[in-house]
Amino acid sequence: MVTRANLTFSDMEQWLNEHRVTEIECLVPDLTGVARGKILPRKKFTEDRGMRLPEAVVAMGVTGVFPLEGPYYDVISPTDHDMHLQPDPSTVRIVPWAADPTAQVIHDCYDKHGKIVPFAPRSVLRRVCDLYAAEGWSPVVAPELEFYLVARNTDPDIPLIPPVGRSGRAETSRQAYSIDAVNEFDPLFEDVYDYCEKMELNVDTLIHEIGAGQMEINFFHDHPMQLADEVFFFKRTVREAALRHNMFATFMAKPIADEPGSAMHVHQSVVETLSGEKRNIFSNPDGSASELFYGYIAGLQRYIPAAMALFAPYVNSYRRLSRFTAAPINIQWGTDNRTVGIRSPVATPAARRIENRVIGADANPYVALAVTLACGYLGMKKGLKPTPECKGDAYLGDYQLPRSLGEALEMLRHEKDLAEILGEAFITVYTEVKEAEYAEFMKVISPWEREHLLLHV
């Protein structure tokens, strides 16, 4: 049986012919999760095409800037070498909003010697998944992705506001889990679901979250690479659909000052594959929680603080992580407890899983999934032990996470275990790019500074 996971280039060619595709969007996710690449006529898209892009294309910040000097250029060639791109046939999807029959295909990045480019986000996730495979394990994940619908905003100096729905009014109060509030945007979501169906994205439920105009989409459990691809595609899809309805969709972690932030909660479990039974290693045969379950939690507790620059990649990301705002402030863990950073939902032994609630919606899905799996992997391999379970309100505890991007980058640079798992080249490129972004931000004078400092200091 041919499935997406084992499609060959020949299978993809047949798929393109069946869909009468005339153009191909050749995509590469960069460090921020932005789709880079080229658009080719269908007849130019061949297996021996050898499409190339400069290696720095996947190693730039959200502002498009590069570091001017430093360790970045120990990894990235100053002469701007080419990457050799290879399509992953399993990722071929139709572009449902295109005027002409158009396909999109995600590519992996290799150097001229055929070695995978280690700092490309997809490469990092593949590296971590290979570590699990070497143990006879297969990780399973399910992201829950929050985002805001906002009125069109063409002036970045003007704060964002909720969009106008079918009633002709914008939301002025919080409508958590309100069906009527979702129905306000029925025409938009009909397009979103239609696009997702045509793209074969396995999206599950849609709910209205706490914030005004804030939504959440859930994905079915699957392999991490499959889910990272789907989140990558979904972000493109919902942004495009929103534009067609005269509004924006944003995955900023904290787009509106007085509203809750947006997260990408990731449910994760691990299945043993060597025996062929596909047994959840988080549960013992008697149904109790296993030592590996507790080791995974302990790994998240041990390494999440150092990984925050990867889970919360922008200055804005840290505005989300504040007390009593439906976002964690520490790395406590608990069962069926949404105040902690690491939650264990109530589930059967076969479905026992762990939810990382720290990750922001603004995180690169490939990087975020790679890192959370890396933290859990280290915890299991090192036999780490978690702290006692938090059975109360974790918001009453102390902050245990970095409070700023600068602090987070410093911690990431000094965490050797994560660098070994994710790759020294990736950590070097990532931290150098983020330092350049942070320096750009520090040149900006905010309205708060003008309001409170202008005439008082």
Average pLDDT for the chain? 94
pLDDT at residue 94 in the model = 97
> Across residues 308-314, what is the average pLDDT?
98
CATH of domain 4-117: 3.10.20.70
> Across residues 194-200, what is the average pLDDT?
94
pLDDT at residue 277 in the model = 79
pLDDT at residue 95 in the model = 97
Q: Where residue 171 falls among pLDDT bands split at 50, 70, 90?
A: confident
Nearest to residue 48, comparing CAs of 9, 103, 104? 9
> Across residues 160-179, what is the average pLDDT?
83
* Residue extent(s) of CATH 3.30.590.10 domains in the chain: 130-422
Q: Where residue 1 falls among pLDDT bands split at 50, 70, 90?
A: very low
Per-residue pLDDT tens digits for 225-235: 999 999 999 99
On the question of pLDDT at 146 being above 90, the answer is: yes
pLDDT at residue 191 in the model = 94
> Across residues 123-134, what is the average pLDDT?
98
pLDDT at residue 2 in the model = 54
Per-residue pLDDT tens digits for 356-387: 999 999 999 999 999 999 999 999 999 999 99
On the question of pLDDT at 341 being above 70, the answer is: yes
Per-residue pLDDT tens digits for 250-284: 999 999 998 999 999 999 999 998 877 789 999 99
What b-and-e string marks burial along 105-128, b requiring 16 or more CB atoms within 10 Å of the CB?
bbbbbbeeeeebbbbbbbbbbbbb
7 neighbors 23 (Cβ within 8 angstroms) = no
* Residue extent(s) of CATH 3.10.20.70 domains in the chain: 4-117
CATH class of 130-422: alpha beta
What pTM does this model have? 0.96
On the question of pLDDT at 83 being above 50, the answer is: yes
